[in-house]
Structure 1
């Protein structure tokens, strides 16, 4: 189970973004590679998803609003 709390991270790793989106890590990598997720490439292999870009993408779909984005932070609960 995952919960979300206030976070000041500028970017999310692909696995973190997958948890936020509720999709598998492999699907998240696939979408990022196809350009369907906003990705910032660092070097040849490293990809991160800017928090602001992910928030804007989700806001444009109506899935979240501005008040919910301040609560994002992936924390794994056992």
Structure 2
């Protein structure tokens, strides 16, 4: 499971997950129907939006769930 706390943290964990599962960036880009360069542009964003997050999760067959809760 990947959890979003910040863009930087999510992308770090996402890349780590890809590495652990042996999934390449080229595979993710193909599944998203974009070029590897476009994927790199997503990785360079300062702030990911919900659409980006959903596409990134769908590309590696993770269910995308939004869980809204009170801050601790």
Which structure's residues are more often helix, by fraction?
2
Q: Tell me which interval the TM-score lies in, with the shorter structure as reference length.
A: 0.3 to 0.5
Which structure's residues are more often strand, by fraction?
1
Normalised to the residue count of structure 2, the TM-score between the two structures is 0.36
Name the structure, 1 or 2, with higher relative contact order (CA <8 Å, separation 6+).
Answer: 1
Normalised to the residue count of structure 1, the TM-score between the two structures is 0.34
